[in-house]
Chains A and B, each alone.
Chain A
Amino acid sequence: MPKVTVDGQEIEVPAGATVLQACEMAGKEIPRFCYHERLSIAGNCRMCLVEVKPGPPKPQASCALPAAEGQEIRTDSPMVKKAREGVMEFLLINHPLDCPICDQGGECDLQDQAVAYGRGGSRYHENKRAVTEKYMGPLIKTIMTRCIHCTRCVRFSEEIAGVDEIGALYRGEDMQITTYLEQAAAHELSANVIDLCPVGALTSRPYAFEARPWELKKTLSIDVSDAVGANIMLHSKGREVMRALPRVNDDVNEEWLSDKGRYQVDGLTKRRLDRVWIRREGTLQPAEWTEAFGMISGALKRGKASIAAVAGDLVDAETMFAAKALVNACGSQLTEARQTGMTYDVSNLAAVNFNSTFAGIETADAILIVGSNVRWEAALLNVRLRKAVKAGAKVYIIGPEWDPTYPATFLGSDLKILNRVPKELGDFMKSAKRPAVILGAAALAKGALPAALKLVDKFNLVRTSEDGSVWNGFNVLHISAARMASLMLGFALPGGMADVAAAKPKVLLSLGADEMDYAPYAKSLKVYIGHHGDKGAHHADIILPGASYAEKDGTYVNTEGRVQFAEKAVFAPGDAREDWTILRALADALRVNVGFDSFAELQAKMIAAVPALGEEGLADYGALPKADSSAKAEGEIAGYPIKDFYLTNPIARASAVMQQCSDELLHGADVKEAAE
């Protein structure tokens, strides 16, 4: 570990660290544009110049210079100050002075650093360079005249996303960043280049001219668009969520966010259920809360126990706990969250958990994916798998073909392969140091879980490595943000939805369940408690308006079993209430006692029932169950559950931006011009 001196302060840095990292460790701020922790080093902006001895008597780019024993680094000398001023002056030669009309204003690296390190005025009197507008799709707005050629976006799409679509054409002063033939950037993480862009060249198209960063209220939240549980920050103005940005969490989303999680938020203000509706003579008509509650208690007059609750994909743990408390207080056990009818065994949650963790799967060296289009089901996990492949892992996939962005071997879509593993695959998995199996929703639906559990012994997936750490390579990848919390709460029945249908409940509470089949419940009173007028609301007899994830506090558990807490950013519109208050009021109407009167009481009760939900971080589910040796997997995986990446949940389906993405990027509709 080399020892270096930064501004007279001696520090020890890890081997392989750069001078820039050494300076950061010493607490010095180094201005930079092209350098980014998660991308390769380019060294082309020259903003990070420092003085280094020994070395040539000129400033050095610290981002690309390895820290070496005995280096004397100065970040505060006149040479450094002059160098930074010089670089900044060069960068500003061609950068337009349009900060007042630029969306990056207020959160612009160039703006901030020009103030901090620039020389205050320009000596340049020639014309500035102008670059033609580039089209990069419905999410990314480009004003390429502002580009300073840091190439972060190029490196992101090549290295992280794995889709080489952005490049730097021409050379020198004429260099331009563009996509090939100005096609739209069409992958699930494309909008991350907006965060990476240090200037206003790439900005958010849906958010264009909407707000300034300093007038937004920032709320820490959790993304519910998939089961990854990406950490996000909701930026709201008044009663509207203006945008969602990723937060840094190296264990979950690093600092990326899928396009759906980022841009579905405009759906929060569209197609909202903001008042009570009751179906009369076949049509939904506005009504009052008391009327609705009266109808529900009327339907249960002959026996309260004939009530069931089904939870949707976006529901938080507290809502599910409140619903379960209500249903149980009525004397019923009918609660189910696997709304599409899956029936896998949930007696041991380790068997349905992503045990390797997202950070851990990066270190796997042999990965078998069974029935999952990871790119669409968990775009951020695919980034991790890509990293694993770059580090030398090999990936095999069972299921219909999709483009993983890394080399992978498709083994066909017949699940029988799990019963008789081909020798090549078996030998490879056994000889691997950290083998992993990822079981996706398509395989779960086909009942492949017991057969997959047999692979734990066969491939020796759980093992203790030489350094004493335990590797668990058995993983289940869910696609619903509510799934793990619902299973922890016991919000499941052995027979799944079939058990609910067989019980023929008089009242069916649907907690935002939009993907379920309502046909078996023709005779039930269907009560939809949710926030969007989607499929569930179309089938409902009574609609009670609830709150979306942005409008309530709540606990979410991601597919790794990571308990995370989201906060309320804005108030729900109109008459809509936080879901637990609706269920609490319904308990009064039904004259049952659920045992809580406030959110704090509800949460305390929930944590008392399931202590793991009270602690943020990975829940411990214990050891994997013993596999049933007679288990057999059968059937073909005909397709994956997600047919359209951009339209998987009611919020996304209500979102105009997601609809446009779906039309343009997946279904090839013509680009809509602003004038149309």
Chain B
Amino acid sequence: MADRTPAPDTPELRARWGAFEWTPENRKTADWHIAKYPEGRQRSAVMPLLDLAQRQVGAETDTQGWLPLPVIEYVAKYLDMPVIRVLEVASFYFMYNLKPVGKFHVQVCGTTPCMLRGSDDIMTACKKRGMKKGEVSEDGLWTLTEVECMGNCATAPMVQINDDNFEDLTPERLHAVLDALAAGEQPKAGTQEPGRHTSEPAGGPTTLKDMVTENHDYRGEW
């Protein structure tokens, strides 16, 4: 599991992030999120705002982004809520990074279905490329994290890299994806199995076969 403690509160951290403020576009987005909730419930916007802040930090540092303590405090102040409540949220959800990450945050699912389908090989492949769990690689591109089930069991094994899932992986397919990312290209997200679209059964449907061509009404057959 990833180390979920916040990055230490040092003077350097304060100096770097103490003046954090929304960019004009992000301020608009933040206010749009807040406006979604009824009067007096503005705190409900804490999750989208933390995500937005993480993305802004990511844009500033050319990484996936993370949440330094001053940024968490900024969000708390923006929503007029106690910092500890924001930190509770930020430390609860794995989508928020509490420590710096690389440009690509490779999250390898290691839960049972993925493990049975070869996630150990995926993990080894990642490590062979110089990634270490919970650390930013030397070139600043990669951070490796092992995570629990991401709900892609039908297309296991999978990794999540920033906002995209890459499924049906083999070490070769993973290398292709990572090479493309490193080269600045955007590989196709989703399943990497040739001929497969999403998570439909390999070799064609096994149930509800009549639904393939039309919206078949099965009710009479029950």
Kindly state the separation between the CA atoms of A165 and B4 in the bound complex, as whole angstroms.
20
Interface bits B73-115 vs A (CB < 8 Å: 1, else 0): 0000000011111011001100000000000000000000000
Interface bits A151-182 vs B (CB < 8 Å: 1, else 0): 00000000000001111111100100001110
Assuming the A-B contacts A170-B4, A174-B4, A181-B9, are A165 and B84 also in contact, with contact meaning beta carbons closer than 8 angstroms in the complex?
yes
Distance to closest chain B CB from A172 (angstroms) = 9
Kindly state the separation between the CA atoms of A469 and B92 in the bound complex, as whole angstroms.
50
- Option from B81, B85, B87, B92 in Cβ contact (under 8 Å) with A171: B92
- Option from B1, B87, B92 in Cβ contact (under 8 Å) with A180: B87
Assuming the A-B contacts A174-B4, A181-B9, are A169 and B88 also in contact, with contact meaning beta carbons closer than 8 angstroms in the complex?
yes
Can you offer 7 A-B residue contacts whose CB atoms are under 8 A?
Answer: A164-B81, A165-B84, A169-B88, A170-B4, A170-B92, A171-B92, A181-B69
Kindly state the separation between the CA atoms of A174 and B81 in the bound complex, as whole angstroms.
24
Closest residue of B by beta carbon distance from A132: B5
Closest residue of A by beta carbon distance from B83: A180
Q: A167-B88, A168-B88, A169-B88 are in contact. List 13 more A-B contacts (CB 8 A).
A: A164-B81, A167-B82, A167-B85, A167-B87, A169-B87, A170-B4, A170-B91, A171-B91, A179-B84, A180-B82, A180-B84, A180-B87, A181-B9
Kindly state the separation between the CA atoms of A174 and B82 in the bound complex, as whole angstroms.
22
**In the complex, what residues of A have CB within 8 A of residue B83's CB?**
180
Assuming the A-B contacts A171-B92, A181-B9, are A166 and B84 also in contact, with contact meaning beta carbons closer than 8 angstroms in the complex?
yes
- Option from A167, A170, A171, A174 in Cβ contact (under 8 Å) with B84: A167
**In the complex, what residues of A have CB within 8 A of residue B85's CB?**
164, 167
Chain B contact residues, CB within 8 Å of chain A: 1, 4, 9, 69, 81-85, 87-88, 91-92
Closest residue of B by beta carbon distance from A167: B84
Kindly state the separation between the CA atoms of A166 and B85 in the bound complex, as whole angstroms.
9
The answer to whether B92 and A164 touch across the interface, beta carbons within 8 angstroms, is no
Kindly state the separation between the CA atoms of A168 and B84 in the bound complex, as whole angstroms.
8
Closest residue of A by beta carbon distance from B73: A180
Distance to closest chain B CB from A193 (angstroms) = 14
Closest residue of A by beta carbon distance from B91: A169
Distance to closest chain B CB from A640 (angstroms) = 25
Number of interface residues of A (CB under 8 A): 12
Kindly state the separation between the CA atoms of A482 and B204 in the bound complex, as whole angstroms.
88
Closest residue of B by beta carbon distance from A163: B82
**In the complex, what residues of A have CB within 8 A of residue B92's CB?**
169-171
**In the complex, what residues of B have CB within 8 A of residue A167's CB?**
82, 84-85, 87-88
Name the residue among B1, B4, B84, B87 with the largest chain A CB count within 10 angstroms: B84
Closest residue of B by beta carbon distance from A173: B1
Name the residue among A164, A165, A166, A174 with the largest chain B CB count within 10 angstroms: A164
The answer to whether B88 and A165 touch across the interface, beta carbons within 8 angstroms, is no
Distance to closest chain B CB from A237 (angstroms) = 37
Distance to closest chain A CB from B5 (angstroms) = 8
**In the complex, what residues of B have CB within 8 A of residue A180's CB?**
82-84, 87
The answer to whether A164 and B4 touch across the interface, beta carbons within 8 angstroms, is no
The answer to whether B91 and A165 touch across the interface, beta carbons within 8 angstroms, is no
Kindly state the separation between the CA atoms of A170 and B9 in the bound complex, as whole angstroms.
18
Closest residue of A by beta carbon distance from B9: A181
Kindly state the separation between the CA atoms of A167 and B84 in the bound complex, as whole angstroms.
6
Name the 7 nearest CB pairs between A and B, nearest first: A164-B82, A167-B84, A180-B84, A169-B91, A167-B88, A171-B92, A170-B91
Interface bits A515-527 vs B (CB < 8 Å: 1, else 0): 0000000000000
Distance to closest chain B CB from A201 (angstroms) = 17
**In the complex, what residues of B have CB within 8 A of residue A164's CB?**
81-82, 84-85
Assuming the A-B contacts A170-B4, A170-B91, are A165 and B9 also in contact, with contact meaning beta carbons closer than 8 angstroms in the complex?
no
Kindly state the separation between the CA atoms of A167 and B69 in the bound complex, as whole angstroms.
15
Kindly state the separation between the CA atoms of A179 and B84 in the bound complex, as whole angstroms.
7
Distance to closest chain A CB from B68 (angstroms) = 13
Kindly state the separation between the CA atoms of A180 and B88 in the bound complex, as whole angstroms.
10
**In the complex, what residues of B have CB within 8 A of residue A170's CB?**
4, 91-92
Closest residue of B by beta carbon distance from A168: B88
**In the complex, what residues of A have CB within 8 A of residue B69's CB?**
181
Distance to closest chain B CB from A391 (angstroms) = 15
Kindly state the separation between the CA atoms of A181 and B87 in the bound complex, as whole angstroms.
10
Kindly state the separation between the CA atoms of A166 and B83 in the bound complex, as whole angstroms.
10
**In the complex, what residues of B have CB within 8 A of residue A168's CB?**
88
Name the residue among B4, B69, B81, B82 with the largest chain A CB count within 10 angstroms: B82
**In the complex, what residues of A have CB within 8 A of residue B88's CB?**
167-169
Distance to closest chain A CB from B149 (angstroms) = 14
Closest residue of A by beta carbon distance from B82: A164
Within 8 A of B (CB), among A173-202: 174, 179-181
Kindly state the separation between the CA atoms of A181 and B81 in the bound complex, as whole angstroms.
16
**In the complex, what residues of A have CB within 8 A of residue B87's CB?**
167, 169, 180
**In the complex, what residues of B have CB within 8 A of residue A171's CB?**
91-92
Distance to closest chain A CB from B39 (angstroms) = 14
Interface bits A530-554 vs B (CB < 8 Å: 1, else 0): 0000000000000000000000000
Closest residue of A by beta carbon distance from B1: A174
**In the complex, what residues of A have CB within 8 A of residue B84's CB?**
164-167, 179-180
Kindly state the separation between the CA atoms of A164 and B84 in the bound complex, as whole angstroms.
7
Distance to closest chain B CB from A185 (angstroms) = 11
Distance to closest chain B CB from A382 (angstroms) = 18
Distance to closest chain A CB from B97 (angstroms) = 14
Kindly state the separation between the CA atoms of A174 and B92 in the bound complex, as whole angstroms.
10
Closest residue of B by beta carbon distance from A171: B92
Kindly state the separation between the CA atoms of A181 and B13 in the bound complex, as whole angstroms.
14
Name the residue among A164, A170, A180 with the largest chain B CB count within 10 angstroms: A180
Kindly state the separation between the CA atoms of A169 and B91 in the bound complex, as whole angstroms.
6
Kindly state the separation between the CA atoms of A164 and B87 in the bound complex, as whole angstroms.
12
Distance to closest chain A CB from B12 (angstroms) = 16
Closest residue of B by beta carbon distance from A179: B84
**In the complex, what residues of B have CB within 8 A of residue A174's CB?**
1, 4
Distance to closest chain B CB from A242 (angstroms) = 32
**In the complex, what residues of A have CB within 8 A of residue B4's CB?**
170, 174
**In the complex, what residues of A have CB within 8 A of residue B9's CB?**
181
Kindly state the separation between the CA atoms of A240 and B9 in the bound complex, as whole angstroms.
43
